[in-house]
Amino acid sequence: MKKVSSPYFDPEFDSLTERIFGPACRVSIDNESLRDCTVIKVDSVNKQGLLLEVVQVLTDMNLNISKSYISSDAGWFMDVFHAKDAHGNKVTDQRTINYIQQAIGTTTREVQKRKSITSKMYDPEPHSEPKAIEMTGPDRPGLFSEISAALAELHCNVVEAHAWSHNARLACVAYISDQSTDVPIDDRRLAAISDHLTTVLRATTAQNPAGEFSKQQEVKTAGLPEGEGSMTKVERRLHQLMLSVRDFDRPVVKLGQLNGTTAGDQELGMMRRGGSSSSSSTVGIESCKEKGYSIVTVQCKDRPRLMFDTVCTLTDMQYVVFHASIDSHRGYAFQEYFIRHVDGCALNTDGEKERVIKCLEAAIERRVCEGVRLELCAKNRAGLLSDITRVLRENGLLVVRADIATHGAKAMNAFYVRDISGNDVDMEFINQSMKRQIGPIDLAVKKEKSMMPSLPDRPRYSISDILKSQLERFSHNFVTIK
Residue pLDDT, tens place only, 29-77: 999 999 999 999 999 888 888 999 999 999 999 999 999 999 987 788 9
Residue pLDDT, tens place only, 186-242: 888 988 999 999 899 887 554 454 445 445 334 445 443 433 457 888 999 999 999
How far is it, in rounded angstroms, from Cα 356 to Cα 294? 11
**Is the predicted pLDDT of residue 82 greater than 80, yes or no?**
yes
Look at residue 73 in the predicted model and tell me its pLDDT.
78
Which of 350, 375, 403 minimizes the C-alpha distance to 122?
403
Q: Measure the CA dihedral 472/474/477/482, to 10°.
A: -140
pLDDT interval class at 463 (50, 70, 90) = very low
CATH architecture of 282-367: 2-Layer Sandwich (3.30)
The average confidence (pLDDT) of the chain is 78
Task: Give the percent of the chain with pLDDT over 70.
Answer: 71
- β-strand partners of 339: 294, 321
Look at residue 256 in the predicted model and tell me its pLDDT.
45
pLDDT interval class at 263 (50, 70, 90) = very low
**Is the predicted pLDDT of residue 253 greater than 70, yes or no?**
no
How far is it, in rounded angstroms, from Cα 326 to Cα 70? 9
pLDDT interval class at 267 (50, 70, 90) = very low
pLDDT interval class at 427 (50, 70, 90) = confident
Among 25-39, 144-158, 367-381, 457-471, the range scoring the smallest mean pLDDT is: 457-471
By DSSP bridging, strand 332-341 and strand 319-329 are antiparallel
**Every domain of the chain and the residues it spans:** 21-109, 282-367, 372-446
pLDDT interval class at 449 (50, 70, 90) = low
More confident residue, 464 or 326: 326
Backbone angles phi, psi at 256, to 5 degrees: -65, -30
**Is the predicted pLDDT of residue 18 greater than 60, yes or no?**
no
- β-strand partners of 67: 82, 327
- Cβ(403)–Cβ(339) under 8 Å? no
Q: Three-state secondary structure along 144-196?
A: HHHHHHHHHHCCEEEEEEEEEEECCEEEEEEEEEECCCCCCCCHHHHHHHHHH
Q: What is the mean pLDDT of residues 295-313?
A: 96
Q: Which CATH class is domain 21-109?
A: alpha beta
pLDDT interval class at 335 (50, 70, 90) = very high
**Is the predicted pLDDT of residue 468 greater than 90, yes or no?**
no
pLDDT interval class at 364 (50, 70, 90) = very high
**Is the predicted pLDDT of residue 476 greater than 50, yes or no?**
no
pLDDT interval class at 113 (50, 70, 90) = very low
Helix axes 50-60, 306-316, angle to 10 degrees: 150
Q: What is the mean pLDDT of residues 154-183?
A: 89
pLDDT interval class at 7 (50, 70, 90) = low
- β-strand partners of 443: 376
Q: What is the DSSP string of 274-329?
A: HSPPGGGEEEEEEEETTTTEEEEEEEEE--TTHHHHHHHHHHHTTEEEEEEEEEEE
Backbone angles phi, psi at 279, to 5 degrees: -70, -15
More confident residue, 128 or 353: 353
Look at residue 10 in the predicted model and tell me its pLDDT.
55
Q: Do domains 282-367 and 372-446 have the same CATH topology?
A: yes
Among 127-136, 222-231, 256-265, 425-434, the range scoring the smallest mean pLDDT is: 256-265
Which of 400, 443, 401, 411 minimizes the C-alpha distance to 159?
411
Q: What is the mean pLDDT of residues 379-391?
A: 91
pLDDT interval class at 340 (50, 70, 90) = very high
Look at residue 58 in the predicted model and tell me its pLDDT.
95
Among 36-45, 173-182, 197-206, 464-473, the range scoring the smallest mean pLDDT is: 464-473
How much helix, strand and coil, in percent to the nearest 5, is found in the chain? 35, 30, 35
pLDDT interval class at 448 (50, 70, 90) = low
Look at residue 229 in the predicted model and tell me its pLDDT.
54
Taking the mean position of all CA atoms in its chain, how far away is CA 145? 21
Look at residue 122 in the predicted model and tell me its pLDDT.
47
Q: What is the mean pLDDT of residues 242-250?
A: 92
Decide yes or no: CATH 3.30.70.890 for domain 372-446.
no
Q: Give this prediction's pTM.
A: 0.80
Residue 295, number of CB atoms within 10 A of its CB: 19
Look at residue 467 in the predicted model and tell me its pLDDT.
52
Q: What is the mean pLDDT of residues 13-34?
A: 70
